[in-house]
A and B are shown apart, each in its own frame.
Chain A
Amino acid sequence: MEILVCARRVPDTSENEIQLNSAGNDIERDELVYSINEPDNYAMEEALQIVANTGGSVSVVTVGGEDDEEVLRREMAMGANHGILLADDAFAGSDGRGIASVLKAFVQKGNYDLILTGVQAEDGGAQVGGMLAAMLDYPFASLVNSIEILDGKKLKISREIEGGNKEISEIDLPCVLSIQTGINEPRYVGMRGIRAVASAPIPKYGLSDLGISAGTVGADAAKVKRVDYFIPVLGKTAEMLNGSREENVEKVLDLVAAKGGLK
């Protein structure tokens, strides 16, 4: 099976403190540590596990610039057979639809049975997978937490829905799936593995290579634009208890009792 994983390099939410920069128009990016978007990493692990059973290869692609290559290399160190960078100045400022257009053009140059994305990235958009599928006219399913190969043409998938329930569906190949964290346990990739792929070739494709018309991508084509970042002015907030621990405990006990919490 030929699988394509769409990945993204994002500031690591667990190892960074997201703060406004001094100018107040962006987040402070100087000391940010970047890594692969966590759900994308789960998607890659899933792809590797599928291919270990069915044979075939796994490719990883990202839309970005030179800085984003490190994420492709990490996934190649993990086991991806090919890494591809889609880069062009014309792509800068694209909104979700723009990114999906670039990916769509790339997908149509290849022959992939299955395309995996992570559920969402740091901006919480949760959009590229669904958009890509619609552009390609492939069936789509989001929040996938389990994949079973039925035969060469179909998959049985499970989606995470409310209450911890699972919605089981059958889906035709080729299709696009957005993968939820927790679907598997991604393998470890150490420094050594990354060093080993440090000089692996990563082809780079731009606007003309992919046959994209300039008007569909980039800042000019973007319909959705972020204006700024801000820390919200807190409206109704909690009444903060500022006493000693003992005093706070007493107060909490009183409140719990008052609200009918002691039976």
Chain B
Amino acid sequence: MVEGNHLAVTSWLVSGRALFLAIHVLGIVGFAYIVARRLVPLTRAERDLRFDQPLARLRMVLKFWLGQWKHPRYKTAGILHILFFSGFILLAMRAFTVLILGVSYNFVMPGLAGKAGHIYEIATDYAATVVFLCMIVAIVRRVVFRPARYEVPAKFGKSHKADAIFLLALIAVLMLADSLFEAAKAAGQIQPGQAIAFGAVFSLPWLLKVALASASLPTLGRLYFSGYLLHEVSFYFLLCYRPFGIQFHVETSLFNIYFAKLDRAQLKPVKWGVSDDALDQVKSFGVKTFEDFTWKQMLDFYSCADCGRCSDNCPANAAGRPLSPRFLTIKARDYAFQHYPMFGKPGNGKALIGNLYSEDEIWSCTTCGACEQECPLLVEYIDKIVDLRRGMIDDGTVPQSLQKPLKAIESRGNPYGKLEKKRADWAGAKDFQQACPVKTLGKKNGAETLYFVDSITSFDDRMQSIGRATAKILHHIEENFGILGSAEKDSGNEVRRFGEETLFLALRDHNTEAIKASGVKHLVTADPHALNALRHDYKDLPPVEHISQVIAREVKSGKIRFKPVENGDKVYTYHDPCYLGRHNQVYEDPRHVLDAIPGLKRVEMKRSRDRSFCCGGGGLMLFYEPKEEERIGVKRVRMAAEAGANVIVTACPFCMVNIEDAIKVAGLEGKMSAIDLAELAEQHMVRESSEGQPKVGEIPQQCVTGR
């Protein structure tokens, strides 16, 4: 290397020192100002307790930020993002070095001198190239392939494409500028006639260096200067432009993930730091204006990368309901930008419902959690929907179709308005009582286990059979169990998620007292919504299980054995209920049970486990009349047909209602049927009688115990 030549090029920077320094100052001060202004609404927001458990939070950062854990769920975009994200991380040191060079032209980053520096340079050359290529691919995707989830429906405004392409192009320019800068310097180091030194061959800087190999030193010097200027200007332009759009996530993602919710199963309380007893003092419940959001919720709005994965998986959105989670966030972000401008006073807060969001938009959500499952930035949705609903309930803005069941729950403890004393009638039929006596717990009757039936299974003619099947299974495994009968009220899972916190607390207190008075050590239920409420919303209760977990355990222990399926034509598929699967991570037990039934043919739908597609929602959602293009359940039933199934097995009474209904609406009666896991298990259970013996002539099947 000829020092002289090298310096001849790099020393060109000296002449621009004042300019570069000015740009630095402008850029940094500008960025600081912009960020400070962006933080203003957060200072007026509600509190959010996110400063606990730093180690757990750092683990989240490692997994989801550095590890990009959720990104590969969409392969192409995921790999692209991992590539250029890694590129950026790697390039970070280089970027800082380059910036400092403007004021100190021969600066070398400590630790990156000599060999280490050389290796780093090669690595970053490739990194810049990869990032550059990724930008090109990303632009091509946007222009040519146009993935559906990026499209902006007319009702939500103009397309975001131009802005997206602009930003992608800017990053490409940044890489180009950086490469040009490096290439000019490197080219200056080459002696005429000397072989081109080993470097990052075929990288962008290398290619440019080769192209510039025969340029004169003054030319190189000018290119070095221009490259630097372009780099600095693009860098600071990007830095200051990012907080005005979705690219703000570059800065906020780390914080958003650090402060993300550690336990997704816990719903946000009405106000952090206010205990349930003190709620009467709270003046207003829920989110009515923008400032009612917490600072973390506002940070979520800033951190959205507009990737559309949430809406792509949202069942309400797929059905054509007014809700699109992505736009819930983008609209709020735009509101924040509009009402908290860079200069001037914040605007007057308007009511969110009616201005930013429509009522139906917020009532449409089934709280299935698919959006939260997908979001790579861990944006939280359910809490926001619940908070907005709390606000509407507080203001009385509730559709008549929901007022009726809410009132019925208040007066009768169930949304149907049926008499409390009839809650245990499902267990009362004579022949059933004889085969499987179900005791009601009280002063005279105690038990180890409580079967919490909940409202739909107690009162709906069709779902009562799930109750009876569950009871028969518990009876068969000799579980000492009982039910609360008329002392049981609705578990309140949807009551809470529809924003009626006060009514929920009344239900919770009532049920908790009844459960504690019964003295049981375990709880079991066949209703995933009840499971969710009892496990997460209720406090200090004995452990709760879903019946599928019980059956799976007893299949493994041998206490439950199954006889073979009778009808060989049936192809079964298991539909993961949202509140059993995504919300409570029970995916394998129900499958284990199905696979333990000899001869049962099972197929998996494309969207299964944590990607399961909601059936349409349960609890109060059954009463709401949404405006939609196609029923959510109908979409799910078609997915089952597509997978080649003719029987859908589910483990939730609400899924059963929606799916059986959808089968009729889809015109698939006779071609598709549905059955509950407990019903199916009970039908195939081998009892201590001649039932279990294979019939003469039947081929004995091997009992499959787990796969």
Residues of A bordering B, CB below 8 Å: 12, 14-15, 17, 31, 33, 35, 78, 185-193, 195-196
Give the docked Cα–Cα distance between A192 and B419 (Å).
24
Cβ-defined contact, B403 with A188, below 8 A: yes
Among candidates B280, B393, B399, residue contacting A190 with C-beta atoms closer than 8 Å: B393
Give the docked Cα–Cα distance between A128 and B677 (Å).
57
Give the docked Cα–Cα distance between A186 and B396 (Å).
8
Counting CB contacts under 8 A, is B341 at the interface? no
Residues of A close to B506: CB separation below 8 A: 191
Closest to A45 in B: B396
Give the docked Cα–Cα distance between A3 and B272 (Å).
41
Expressed in whole angstroms, the minimum distance between the Cβ of B417 and any Cβ of chain A is 4
User: Which B residues between 483 and 503 are near A, CB-CB below 8 angstroms?
Assistant: 500-503
Residues of A close to B397: CB separation below 8 A: 187-188
Cβ-defined contact, A195 with B280, below 8 A: yes
The interface bits of chain B over 392-415 (1 if a CB of A lies within 8 angstroms of the residue's CB, else 0) are 011111111011101110111000
Expressed in whole angstroms, the minimum distance between the Cβ of A40 and any Cβ of chain B is 15
Residues of B bordering A, CB below 8 Å: 279-280, 285, 393-400, 402-404, 406-408, 410-412, 417, 419-421, 500-503, 506
Among candidates A14, A31, A186, A193, residue contacting B419 with C-beta atoms closer than 8 Å: A31
Give the docked Cα–Cα distance between A131 and B404 (Å).
32
Cβ-defined contact, A187 with B285, below 8 A: no
Give the docked Cα–Cα distance between A219 and B407 (Å).
34
Among candidates A14, A187, A193, residue contacting B404 with C-beta atoms closer than 8 Å: A14
Residues of B close to A189: CB separation below 8 A: 396
Residues of A close to B394: CB separation below 8 A: 190, 192-193
Cβ-defined contact, B502 with A78, below 8 A: no
Closest to B414 in A: A15
Expressed in whole angstroms, the minimum distance between the Cβ of B644 and any Cβ of chain A is 31
Cβ-defined contact, A192 with B411, below 8 A: no
Give the docked Cα–Cα distance between A33 and B408 (Å).
10
Known: A14-B417, A31-B421, A195-B502. A188 touches B393 (CB 8 A): yes
Give the docked Cα–Cα distance between A195 and B395 (Å).
15
Expressed in whole angstroms, the minimum distance between the Cβ of A58 and any Cβ of chain B is 14
Among candidates B402, B404, B421, B503, residue contacting A191 with C-beta atoms closer than 8 Å: B503
Cβ-defined contact, A12 with B400, below 8 A: no
Number of A-B contacts (CB under 8 A): 57
Among candidates B393, B396, B399, B412, residue contacting A33 with C-beta atoms closer than 8 Å: B412
Query: 8 closest Cβ contacts across the A-B interface?
Result: A187-B396, A188-B398, A15-B417, A192-B502, A191-B502, A33-B411, A188-B396, A191-B503
Expressed in whole angstroms, the minimum distance between the Cβ of B505 and any Cβ of chain A is 9
Expressed in whole angstroms, the minimum distance between the Cβ of A36 and any Cβ of chain B is 11
A–B complex contacts, Cβ < 8 Å, 8 sampled: A12-B417, A31-B419, A33-B411, A185-B400, A186-B403, A190-B502, A192-B279, A195-B280
Expressed in whole angstroms, the minimum distance between the Cβ of B483 and any Cβ of chain A is 20
The residue among B396, B400, B417 with the most chain A CB atoms within 10 A of its own CB is B396
Cβ-defined contact, B500 with A190, below 8 A: yes
The residue among A14, A186, A192, A196 with the most chain B CB atoms within 10 A of its own CB is A192
Give the docked Cα–Cα distance between A78 and B395 (Å).
9
Closest to B408 in A: A15
Give the docked Cα–Cα distance between A191 and B393 (Å).
10
Residues of B close to A78: CB separation below 8 A: 396
Among candidates A17, A31, A187, A195, residue contacting B398 with C-beta atoms closer than 8 Å: A187
Residues of A close to B404: CB separation below 8 A: 14
Say what secondary structure dominates the interface of chain B.
helix
Known: A190-B502, A192-B502. A35 touches B396 (CB 8 A): no
The residue among A185, A187, A190, A193 with the most chain B CB atoms within 10 A of its own CB is A190
Give the docked Cα–Cα distance between A61 and B395 (Å).
23
Q: Beyond the given A187-B398, A190-B503, A192-B501, please list 16 additional residue pairs across the A-B interface where CB-CB is below 8 A.
A: A14-B417, A17-B419, A33-B412, A187-B397, A188-B393, A188-B397, A188-B398, A188-B406, A189-B396, A190-B406, A190-B500, A191-B500, A191-B502, A191-B503, A192-B279, A195-B280
Expressed in whole angstroms, the minimum distance between the Cβ of A197 and any Cβ of chain B is 12
Give the docked Cα–Cα distance between A127 and B406 (Å).
31
Among candidates B411, B421, B501, B502, residue contacting A12 with C-beta atoms closer than 8 Å: B411
Expressed in whole angstroms, the minimum distance between the Cβ of B156 and any Cβ of chain A is 27
Expressed in whole angstroms, the minimum distance between the Cβ of B516 and any Cβ of chain A is 22
Among candidates B280, B400, B411, residue contacting A15 with C-beta atoms closer than 8 Å: B411
Expressed in whole angstroms, the minimum distance between the Cβ of B625 and any Cβ of chain A is 13
Give the docked Cα–Cα distance between A27 and B198 (Å).
100
Give the docked Cα–Cα distance between A168 and B404 (Å).
31
Expressed in whole angstroms, the minimum distance between the Cβ of B288 and any Cβ of chain A is 14
The residue among A33, A186, A187, A196 with the most chain B CB atoms within 10 A of its own CB is A33
Closest to B416 in A: A15
Give the docked Cα–Cα distance between A186 and B402 (Å).
12
Residues of B close to A33: CB separation below 8 A: 411-412
Residues of A close to B393: CB separation below 8 A: 188, 190
Give the docked Cα–Cα distance between A168 and B503 (Å).
42
Give the docked Cα–Cα distance between A33 and B395 (Å).
25
Residues of A close to B279: CB separation below 8 A: 192
Cβ-defined contact, B410 with A191, below 8 A: yes
Residues of B close to A193: CB separation below 8 A: 394, 396
Residues of B close to A196: CB separation below 8 A: 280
Residues of B close to A187: CB separation below 8 A: 395-398
Give the docked Cα–Cα distance between A190 and B419 (Å).
21
Residues of A close to B406: CB separation below 8 A: 188, 190
Closest to B280 in A: A195
Closest to A189 in B: B396
Closest to A14 in B: B417
Expressed in whole angstroms, the minimum distance between the Cβ of B291 and any Cβ of chain A is 21
Cβ-defined contact, B285 with A192, below 8 A: yes
Expressed in whole angstroms, the minimum distance between the Cβ of A44 and any Cβ of chain B is 12
Give the docked Cα–Cα distance between A17 and B411 (Å).
14
Cβ-defined contact, B407 with A35, below 8 A: yes
Give the docked Cα–Cα distance between A15 and B398 (Å).
20
Give the docked Cα–Cα distance between A193 and B417 (Å).
21
Expressed in whole angstroms, the minimum distance between the Cβ of B400 and any Cβ of chain A is 6
Residues of A close to B402: CB separation below 8 A: 188
Expressed in whole angstroms, the minimum distance between the Cβ of B511 and any Cβ of chain A is 16
Expressed in whole angstroms, the minimum distance between the Cβ of A180 and any Cβ of chain B is 15
Closest to B399 in A: A185
Give the docked Cα–Cα distance between A195 and B505 (Å).
13
Residues of B close to A17: CB separation below 8 A: 419
Give the docked Cα–Cα distance between A205 and B279 (Å).
34
Expressed in whole angstroms, the minimum distance between the Cβ of A99 and any Cβ of chain B is 25
Closest to A15 in B: B417
Expressed in whole angstroms, the minimum distance between the Cβ of B1 and any Cβ of chain A is 77
Give the docked Cα–Cα distance between A12 and B404 (Å).
12
The residue among A12, A35, A191 with the most chain B CB atoms within 10 A of its own CB is A191
Closest to A12 in B: B411
Expressed in whole angstroms, the minimum distance between the Cβ of A131 and any Cβ of chain B is 30
Give the docked Cα–Cα distance between A17 and B396 (Å).
28
Closest to B283 in A: A196
Expressed in whole angstroms, the minimum distance between the Cβ of B499 and any Cβ of chain A is 9
Residues of B close to A191: CB separation below 8 A: 410, 500, 502-503, 506
Give the docked Cα–Cα distance between A124 and B549 (Å).
54
Give the docked Cα–Cα distance between A196 and B404 (Å).
21
Residues of B close to A31: CB separation below 8 A: 419-421
Give the docked Cα–Cα distance between A31 and B423 (Å).
14
Give the docked Cα–Cα distance between A191 and B495 (Å).
12
Residues of A close to B411: CB separation below 8 A: 12, 15, 33, 35
Give the docked Cα–Cα distance between A17 and B397 (Å).
30
Residues of B close to A190: CB separation below 8 A: 393-394, 396, 406, 500, 502-503
Give the docked Cα–Cα distance between A187 and B396 (Å).
5
Give the docked Cα–Cα distance between A196 and B408 (Å).
21
Residues of A close to B395: CB separation below 8 A: 187
Residues of B close to A185: CB separation below 8 A: 399-400
Give the docked Cα–Cα distance between A31 and B417 (Å).
12
Residues of A close to B503: CB separation below 8 A: 190-191
Expressed in whole angstroms, the minimum distance between the Cβ of A35 and any Cβ of chain B is 7
Residues of B close to A12: CB separation below 8 A: 411, 417
Give the docked Cα–Cα distance between A253 and B110 (Å).
93
